[in-house]
């Protein structure tokens, strides 16, 4: 996948657990865990905004574009 999710990095910087972020954002721990591990195909902007608000970061701190080298 060309989009890398760095949610775990931002959570560590803020010393915030998955459970705490889940409660603050209002998203299930399961869905947040799937996002954290990059196993989702998309994220709603309002969810991304809520995560950024709680972690005091920008969307680019969480999502990173990493081009593949397969020639496409």
Domain boundaries, the chain: 3-61
Q: What is the pTM of this model?
A: 0.88
Average pLDDT over residues 17-34: 96
Residue 10, by phi and psi: left (phi above 0), alpha (psi -120 to 50) or beta?
Answer: alpha
Residue 15 class from Cβ within 10 Å (0-12 exposed, 13-18 middle, 19+ buried)? Answer: exposed
Tens digits of residue pLDDT in 2-24:
899 999 999 999 999 999 999 99
For residues 70 and 6, the model is more confident at: 6
The CATH class for the domain spanning 3-61 reads mainly alpha
**Residue environment code for 27-56, b if the CB has 16+ CB neighbours within 10 A, otherwise e:** beeeebeebbeeeeeebeeebeebbbebbe
Average pLDDT over residues 34-49: 94
């Amino acid at each position: 996948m060309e989009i890398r999710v760095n949610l775990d990095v931002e959570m560590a910087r803020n010393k915030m657990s998955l459970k705490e972020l889940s409660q603050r954002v209002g998203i299930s721990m399961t869905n947040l865990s799937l996002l954290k591990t990059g196993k989702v195909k998309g994220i709603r902007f309002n969810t991304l905004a809520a995560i950024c608000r709680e972690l005091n970061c920008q969307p680019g701190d969480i999502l990173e574009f990493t081009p593949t080298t397969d020639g496409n």
